[in-house]
């Protein structure tokens, strides 16, 4: 082969290698520049700040907040990054924990996923509205005055089970479902209440068929009584049957739990003198169900009222052995005998 021909053919190859190397260098430099532009404000920083992004904030408003709080370097670059990645309408409102050690990709990923600061609270079965309010106030999740304003005044058209209930401080009694909730920081009192009403609606829709003639309102009232009269699930359908049997024959319900609802604070025991208190919630004086629920019933109590045990029991008394169980009787004489056996 001709030596000159070899030199001619090898020259383009060297040029291509040089061009490829130059391209890779430019690409590497470009990536380094981009990484510097869109990378962390303080690489490796462990500092954290709580940042509030309000509903309706634009990308530019969010960028200014992040820049002012020294989470990002440049608001214009943040806007550019968001727009290049078509994220403008995807950033969610809420309160976030962010760090200047996070890249723009990490920050926007958190805002898109809505990974806001959350709080957890638990409402036990049987809690009244007052007790629920106290839990939320103690956790600094609501303002007490605002909570009661929402209870009294706000409308909840999506929850039809509230229709016809007078707007007062007892309106939502029994309907704020007892459960464990995880909520975003900064949610309003109405937002929390709506979440609890929604949970009630979900649970009620999953109950077995109602085998009684009670309306939904009456079911909730009776279930709240069952909740506060019983400690073990197996007794709930039996206690429900006692109250239903009494209602059928027009016998007073004689429930300590309804009388306890009258007092500002629950008593250790109801006294004989308390039985004469003039209140629609005193079922020792008034026949039928009380005018409203006396607490928030859990699922087991609602189920017990929908499908009570089939019995002829008219009385029950709690055991004193700490089991939380009850002894049931058909007649008053049997009931008195049971009480003697149990040491009353």
Tell me the pLDDT tens digit for each residue of 93-146.
888 999 999 988 899 999 999 899 899 999 999 999 999 999 999 999 999 999
Domain boundaries of the chain, sorted by first residue: 49-113, 118-205, 216-342
Angle between helices 216-229 and 299-306 (to 10 degrees): 120
Residue 132: burial class (beta carbons within 10 Å; 0-12, 13-18, 19+)? buried
User: What are the beta bridge partners of residue 95?
Assistant: 52
Q: Name the pLDDT band for 270 (thresholds 50, 70, 90).
A: confident
The phi-psi region of residue 252 (left if phi > 0; otherwise alpha if psi is between -120 and 50; otherwise beta) is beta
What mean pLDDT, rounded, does the chain reach?
A: 89
Within 13 Å, how many C-alpha atoms sit on residue 170's CB side?
A: 13
**Which region, left, alpha or beta, applies to residue 86 given φ > 0 means left and ψ of -120 to 50 means alpha?**
left
Q: Which residues of 246-260 are buried (b: 16+ CB within 10 A; e: fewer)?
A: bbeeeeebbbbbbbb
At 202 the three-state DSSP class reads helix
Whether residue 17 has pLDDT greater than 70: no
C-beta separation of 296 from 302 below 8 A: no
**Is residue 1 pLDDT above 50, yes or no?**
no
pLDDT tens-digit map of 210-243: 999 999 999 999 999 999 999 999 999 999 999 9
Beta strands in 5-144 (DSSP E): 49-53, 94-98, 118-122
Classify domain 49-113 by CATH number: 3.30.1490.480
> CA nearest 48: which of 72, 24, 71?
71
pLDDT on residue 9: 54
pLDDT in tens, 141-164: 999 999 999 999 999 999 999 999
> Is 70 exceeded by the pLDDT of residue 28?
no
Q: What pTM was computed for the model?
A: 0.80
Cα end-to-end span (Å), the chain = 120
Residue 183, beta-bridge partner list: 119
Q: Count the residues in the chain.
A: 344
């Amino acid at each position: 082969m001709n030596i000159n021909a070899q030199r001619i053919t090898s020259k383009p190859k060297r040029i291509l290698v040089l061009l490829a190397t130059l391209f890779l260098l430019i690409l590497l430099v470009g990536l380094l520049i981009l990484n510097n532009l869109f990378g962390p404000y303080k690489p490796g920083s462990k500092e954290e700040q709580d940042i509030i992004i309000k509903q309706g904030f634009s990308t530019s408003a969010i960028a200014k907040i992040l820049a002012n709080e020294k989470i990002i370097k440049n608001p214009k670059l943040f806007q550019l990054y968001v727009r290049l990645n078509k994220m403008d309408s995807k950033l969610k409102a809420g309160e976030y924990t962010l760090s200047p050690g996070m890249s723009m990709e990490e920050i926007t990923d958190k805002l898109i996923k809505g990974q806001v600061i959350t709080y957890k609270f638990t409402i036990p079965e049987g809690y009244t509205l007052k007790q629920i309010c106290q839990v939320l106030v103690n956790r600094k999740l609501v303002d007490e005055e605002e909570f009661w304003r929402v209870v009294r005044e706000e409308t909840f058209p999506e929850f039809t089970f509230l229709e016809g209930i007078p707007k007062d401080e007892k309106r939502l009694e029994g309907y704020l479902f007892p459960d464990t909730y995880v909520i975003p920081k900064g949610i309003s009192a109405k937002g929390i209440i709506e979440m609890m009403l929604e949970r009630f609606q979900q649970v009620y829709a999953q109950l077995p068929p109602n085998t009684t003639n009670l309306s939904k309102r009456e079911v909730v009232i009776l279930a709240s009584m069952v909740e506060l009269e019983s400690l073990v699930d197996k007794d709930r359908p039996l206690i429900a049957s006692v109250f239903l049997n009494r209602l059928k024959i027009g016998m007073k319900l004689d429930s300590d739990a309804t009388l306890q609802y009258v007092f500002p604070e629950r008593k250790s025991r109801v006294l004989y003198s308390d039985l004469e208190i003039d209140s629609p919630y005193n079922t020792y004086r008034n026949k039928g169900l009380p005018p409203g629920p006396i607490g928030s019933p859990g699922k087991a109590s609602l189920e017990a009222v929908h499908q009570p045990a089939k019995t002829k029991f008219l009385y029950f008394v709690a055991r004193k052995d700490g089991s939380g169980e009850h002894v049931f009787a058909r007649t008053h004489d049997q009931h008195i005998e049971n009480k003697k056996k149990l040491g009353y």
